[in-house]
Structure 1
Amino acid sequence: MPDFDILAEGKTLSGVAERLMSLSLTDNRGFEADQLTITLDDADGQLQLPPRGARLTVLIGWKGEPLTEKGTYIVDEIAHEGPPDRLTVSARSADFRDEFNVKREVSWHDVTVERVVSAIAHRYGLKPQISEMLMDIEIDHADQTEESDMSFLTRMAEMLGAITTVKSGNLLFIMPGGGVNAQGQPLPSFAITRSSGDRHQFRIADREAYTGVRAYWLDLNYGKKKKVSVKRRKPPKPKRRKAAAVKVTIWKARMAMCLCYARLIRTSRQQDAQRRQSGSNYNAEPHHSPSRWRVDVQNSTPKCMAR
């Protein structure tokens, strides 16, 4: 069974579990603030509206196991509706501050990724967390012109195939999809089954509509933007028979036609001779004309057939 706990200004809120209708936590990627939405039952009208700007700390997990802290959020929107009466509280991650949007003029020269990330993290009182494989990458020169620190970090991360974000007081600059944390340690894994929740959703999209993909990268040696394009492979077409095999088949068909024609003429003459000997009327029954026959080629085998 899922379990949770909510702290307001460091103190546990009592009676929330009995009133909880829904709890939604959206963990966004990059420098987009995480969102927390809590809906509480207020049928008795006893709930007090929390002040905007209040700090909420959320812990989620499973009953009987230690809960995982998912960060601190600042209440920025409150809504009440009814009937039935319900209170909806919306909050955003406290890690994202207004000063993140301040544009700066900085010139970075002969530095490493570790030095750049650490300098920006120190400016905001954050702890830098950098993947080991990214730390020692050298940057010859980079200009931050009328650009915020977070925008500059995002641009640098895209160039290196990394991601950057702020989580729980840490400025992360890591490689995605590795299944490890910033220190290179493997992340814990667990299985989710149907009994783990009360509903599920599955979606599959048609990816065959794309004919290829194009990626851009910056060649630091020449200071030029380059691109790489890869097209989706088309299914192989059925192989055609070689020209020599086709010529042999045509030759066989022509030979069969000639033999069939000769055989029909010979048979017709034999029938005429038999009629003369028997004294029957020669024109009473027309004989088969060679034009009434055709050659059929199936599986490279010629056959003489009547129409």
Structure 2
Amino acid sequence: MALGFTPVVEIYGANAALLNERLLSWQHIDASGIESDQLTLTIDLHGLEGLPDLGGKIGLRVGYLESGLVDKGLFVISRRTPKLFPLTLTLVATAAPFSVADETGFKLRRSLSHGPTTLGALFRLLTSRHGFSPRVAPDLAMIKIEHIDQSNETDMGFLTRLACIHDAVAKPINELYVLARRGQVKSLSGKVLPNVRLSVTTNNRPDDHAFIAATLDESARTKYQGCKISWWDAAAGKERSVESGIAPFKTLRQRGQNAEEALAACEGEVRRMMREALKVNIDCPGNPGLSAEGVVVLDETWPDFMRGRWSIDKVTASGNRKDSYRCKIAATCLGSAT
């Protein structure tokens, strides 16, 4: 994707004209996993009567004048923070349809027992009650759940815990709620995520528009190749354990409710440890093509120990009236460049 040199950000939806006219700075966090995407706007309050309403829906388009804008979706204003000096207002909006009234009890803590059922059926039941349209990856949908307790947890917190057990992601995206393996979330939601190639210029200096900085995190390399966890066998009246992978084993502190849940937690943890062996953090020019769950390719202009395909865990894009549009990327290694 050829990028331009003139950053452009455009807010649409509720109070769009006011927000665009008074916008001082913005930040968009696009994250994989349990974190809901978030948009933060700082606007000038001088001479303004009244504030934008909580619950209002706003959208973000961002890009460059020369190459066009990309729509980053709708967000619901969930927090307003006025500040006296300088006289500004910070608006925080989330991609999940949170409501102050919370008519469906989305934020209500519950204690319930579920099962026998399947992961897909339970996920659809809990998300549908809050007005979401559920999307479940086929390899997760038919996983059997004999029994599991929801213990003083919100439905979202419980679904997040269920997803973690199976090394998956449960995430609201606009009106959808998606349960999928990492890297599949946005594809299940119908969003096409092309690979984004990053190159380092020969004159890579902080005062250059195309400046890129990066840090490789090798401390994330796993010390373990297997995992073990205990579970309580009520019929026998004794504690048992299961394991997955090979030694050395990581011992999980939580206890499984039964053998099936314990084994699923072990297998999920082994997949996570293998996936998170190597991480990189990148600060680069703003690129609207970068998206969580997408892939960034570090080409031959990078040092050989950084080259390759990286799965994007989080993109934090930001800009203001003084500075250019920039992105911070947190990503996990997938393999060599192609």
TM-score, structure 2 normalization: 0.54
Of the three residues 122, 139, 142, the one matched with 2:148 is: 142
Instruction: After superposition, give the CA deviation of every residue in 1:268-294 in whole Å (9 maximum; x if it has no partner).
Output: xxxxxxxxxxxxxxxxxxxxxxxxxxx
Deviation (angstroms), 1:75: 4.4
C-alpha separation in 2, matches of 1:216 and 1:184: 36
Which amino acid is the alignment partner of residue 20 of structure 1?
A: L
Matched residue, 1:4: 9
- CA shift digits 1:70-94 (9 cap, x unpaired): 32121412333546x6543333445
**Residue 17 of structure 2 corresponds to residue 21 of structure 1:** no
Matched, 1:72 2:75: yes
d(CA) in 1 for partners of 2:112, 2:27? 39
Report the AA paired with residue 62 of structure 2: G
Alignment of 1:231-250 (within 5 A): 231=248
- Aligned counterparts of 1:2 and 1:224: Cα–Cα separation in 2: 59
Query: After superposition, what is the alpha-carbon deviation per residue over 1:131-175, rounded to whole angstroms, capped at 9, x for unaligned?
Result: 121112222222324333222212211221111121101111110
Q: Deviations over 1:27-54 (max 9, x none)?
A: 3444444432212356xx3445523515
Cα gap change, 1:5/1:175 in structure 2, threshold over 3 Å: closer, same or farther? Answer: same
Find the aligned partners of 2:174 and 2:191 in 1 and give their Cα distance.
18
CA distance in 2, matches of 1:208, 1:114: 32
Letter in 1 for 2:58: T
Task: Quote the Cα distance in structure 1 between the aligned partners of 2:189 and 2:173.
Answer: 15
Q: Give, in whole Å, the separation in 2 of the partners of 1:156 and 1:203.
A: 32
Q: Quick one: which amino acid aligns to residue 36 of structure 1? A: L
> Which residue matches 2:242?
226
Residue 151 and residue 41 in structure 1: after superposition, are their counterparts in 2 closer, same or farther (change >3 A)?
Answer: closer
Relative to structure 1, the CA distance from residue 2 to residue 138 in structure 2 (aligned partners, 3 Å threshold; closer, same or farther) is farther
Q: How far apart in 2 are the matches of 1:88 and 1:20?
A: 10
Q: 1:174 aligns with which of 172, 180, 196?
A: 180
Once the two structures are TM-superposed, the CA of residue 114 in structure 1 deviates from its matched residue by 1.6
Which runs of no fewer than 5 residues in structure 1 stay unpaired? 233-307
2:165 to 159, 170, 182: 159
How big is the shift at 1:218?
A: 7.9
Pairing of 1:68-107 with structure 2 (within 5 A): 68-80=71-83, 82=85, 86-97=88-99, 98=102, 99-107=105-113
- Deviation of residue 26 (structure 1)? 1.8
Is the CA contact 1:107–1:143 (under 8 Å) kept in the aligned structure 2?
A: yes
State the Cα deviation string for residues 161-193 of structure 1 (Å, max 9, x = none): 111121101111110035862279863233345
Which stretch of the first structure deviates more once superposed, 129-138 or 205-214? 205-214
Structure 2: segments with no counterpart, 5+ residues? 1-5, 202-207, 250-338
Counterpart-to-counterpart distance in 1, 2:52 and 2:76: 13
User: Alignment identity in percent?
Assistant: 23
Q: Give the TM-score taking structure 1 as reference length.
A: 0.58
**2:116 aligned counterpart, secondary structure:** strand
SS in 1 for 2:12: strand
Taking CA–CA contacts closer than 8 Å with sequence separation of 6 or more, which of the two structures ends up with the larger relative contact order? 2
**1:180-191 residue pairs with structure 2 within 5 A?**
181-182=187-188, 187-191=193-197
Q: Give, as a single letter, the amino acid of the residue that structure 2 aligns with 1:177.
A: G
1:131 corresponding residue in structure 2: 137
Give the secondary structure class of the aligned counterpart of 1:187.
coil
Distance 1:107 1:164 in 2: 20
Question: Between Structure 1 and Structure 2, which shows a larger proportion of helix residues?
Answer: 1
Hey, what's the Cα distance between the residues in 2 that align with 1:78 and 1:113? 39
Matched residue, 1:204: 216
Q: Which is richer in strand?
A: 2
Structure 1 pair 105/208, CA: closer, same or farther in 2 (3 Å)?
closer
Q: RMSD over aligned Cα, in angstroms?
A: 4.0
- Residue 40 (1) aligns with residue 35 (2): no
Distance 2:221 2:180 in 1: 32
- Is the 8 Å Cα contact of residues 169 and 185 (structure 2) preserved in structure 1? no
Figure out how many residues of one structure are paired with residues of the other and give that number.
227
